[in-house]
Structure 1
Amino acid sequence: MPHRLQRATAEENIPRYAEIRRALEGAIMSGAWPPGHRVPSEHELMAQFDCSRMTVNKALSGLAEAGLVIRKRRSGSFVATPASEQTVLEIHDIQKEVLASGREYRFEIVARRRGKATAAEAELLGVKAGAPLLALSVRHFAGGKPFAAERRLINLARVPEAEGESFAQAPPGSWLLARIPWTEAEHQISAANLDDDTAGLLSMAPGAAALVVERRTWQGGVPITCVTLFYPGDRHRLIGRFAPPAGRS
């Protein structure tokens, strides 16, 4: 049975091109459309979403730029084959990720503490206990709904300017990516049940399932930041596609 593309509800009030992109992206990311699957033609999408060819083209161009589809002249658009697990391992900018999906983005700093690293914080960040750090709790929103909760530690010995930064214009992750080049990163991905505080940030019930991404970055061996991101488990997935080594089946 053909996959049914999901239309946005009236209250979401997103641009039509973003609605089309979200619908196509959902079919791809869910696996309903595997690599090589032919995407509906521009004329089919124009009819389904009651819009102009320019609007459809804008949605397809965005998907092509994101590497999700390949557009072939005279043949149409096809679901791309992921090159590797890079989508899991690369450092994502949450703000760009949300905006690319066509949803409105905003964030808020829930808590902020400048102080000396406790033993537990020092172990997480990879510094000595008592080292100066900035601890932040951040909530990210997509389309007005909680998207992710963030707990971040910043090594002030390496990033002293972070102490006086208000983060009024950009979230801490985006701010760091724009200013401090990293030379090494480590990811750990797991599942967990939310504690009361984190569940409250995500407007979820305590104990609900969450996808947890822990990340550390260094510059020349010096720790920059340690961040733990909590995503609602029923709304996020990480997908990697790979082949067995040569000579093995």
Structure 2
Amino acid sequence: MPIMIKHRAIRDALLGRIVSGEWAPGRVIPGEVDLAREFGCTRATVARALRELVAAGLVERRRRGGTRVLGRSGRDAVVTIPIVREEIEAAGHAYGYERLTVREADPPEPIRQAFGLRPGAAAVHVACLHRADGRPAQVEDRWINAAAVPAVRTQDFRTVSPNEWLVRAVPYTRARHEFRAERPTDRLRGLLDLAPDEWVFVVERRTWREDAGITVAHLYNPADRFRITTRDPVAFGVDPGAG
């Protein structure tokens, strides 16, 4: 992987741990050697990623004291759910959308447990591709709990993405986000038009209304076209102009 892309993937993965609260303020994070081993890269690549986090005011580095997280915990932050179409259009780009699949099926065990469904209970699976100026920006792969959101059975998602439909039509009371960088599957690599060594930055989003699970989504973004803005409320989404 080219170093320019890989250091960004590592930076975003570390940023995700800070924003999500996995690394709380005051925590000393693993050293360069350990992070280089985890991500399979050189110490220089890790150091570059850490320098960008220092410049953003998210961590501080002290000689012999390690690297420490600054600021407030992601657990205390309010996280807004953006509409991908609006983000792309607000950046001055033409938005494109393609539904890849929609089906009602018995979800995998982790999804079933997240929704609290009994074996045999169906959920709706939707996958789609968001584009900016014709360029792939995000693959959205999502399960929606049909028991909690019966109206999903009437949606074909041909022209409106599940992201936009849920934000506009289905209220939620809480959400959880996890962030990570990972190597894409061959299918994702093709959909996102990635180079052989490029990574993806993944947002795993779960929402609930009271105790009922609404959706579990995996949002796959080219690692150099994703941003997290650390403010209140915390916002994150595709960045068509990056990279």
* TM-score, scaled relative to structure 2: 0.60
1:158-186 deviation per Cα after TM superposition (whole angstroms, max 9, x unaligned): 11121121223311111111111100100
Shift of 1:90: 1.7
Shift of 1:129: 3.2
Shift of 1:230: 0.6
* Structure-1 separation of matches of 2:78 and 2:88: 16
Shift of 1:127: 3.1
Q: Between Structure 1 and Structure 2, how many residues are aligned?
A: 166
- Structure 2 vs 1, CA of residues 124 and 193 (structure 1 numbering), >3 Å: closer, same or farther? farther
* C-alpha RMSD of the superposition: 3.0
Shift of 1:194: 0.5
* Structure-2 separation of matches of 1:207 and 1:137: 24
* 2:97–2:159 contact (8 Å) kept in structure 1: no
**Letter of the structure 2 residue corresponding to residue 196 of structure 1:** D
- Structure 2 vs 1, CA of residues 126 and 209 (structure 1 numbering), >3 Å: closer, same or farther? farther
* Structure-2 separation of matches of 1:119 and 1:96: 33
**What SS is found at the alignment partner of 1:234?**
helix
Q: Who is 2:27 aligned against?
A: none
Q: Who is 1:150 aligned against?
A: 140
**What SS is found at the alignment partner of 1:102?**
coil
Q: Who is 1:212 aligned against?
A: 202
* Structure-2 separation of matches of 1:88 and 1:104: 29
* Structure-1 separation of matches of 2:164 and 2:122: 21
**Letter of the structure 2 residue corresponding to residue 160 of structure 1:** P
* 2:204–2:217 contact (8 Å) kept in structure 1: yes
2:130 aligned to 133, 140, 143, which one?
A: 140
* 1:193–1:206 contact (8 Å) kept in structure 2: no
Q: Who is 1:223 aligned against?
A: 213
1:175 aligned to 158, 165, 171, which one?
A: 165
* Structure-1 separation of matches of 2:144 and 2:132: 25
Unaligned runs of 5+ in 2: 1-51, 58-71, 233-243
* Structure-1 separation of matches of 2:168 and 2:107: 25
Shift of 1:198: 1.2
Between the aligned residues of both structures, percent identity stands at 32
1:102 aligned to 88, 92, 99, which one?
A: 92
**What SS is found at the alignment partner of 1:215?**
strand
Q: Who is 1:131 aligned against?
A: 121
Shift of 1:96: 1.0
**Letter of the structure 2 residue corresponding to residue 184 of structure 1:** R
* Structure-2 separation of matches of 1:225 and 1:123: 12
Unaligned runs of 5+ in 1: 1-29, 36-82, 243-249
* 1:200–1:206 contact (8 Å) kept in structure 2: no
Shift of 1:84: 9.6
* 2:130–2:137 contact (8 Å) kept in structure 1: yes
1:38-79 deviation per Cα after TM superposition (whole angstroms, max 9, x unaligned): xxxxxxxxxxxxxxxxxxxxxxxxxxxxxxxxxxxxxxxxxx
**What SS is found at the alignment partner of 1:96?**
helix
**Letter of the structure 2 residue corresponding to residue 215 of structure 1:** R
* Structure-2 separation of matches of 1:241 and 1:158: 31
* 1:184–1:219 contact (8 Å) kept in structure 2: yes
Shift of 1:204: 1.3
Shift of 1:119: 1.7
* Structure-2 separation of matches of 1:136 and 1:176: 12
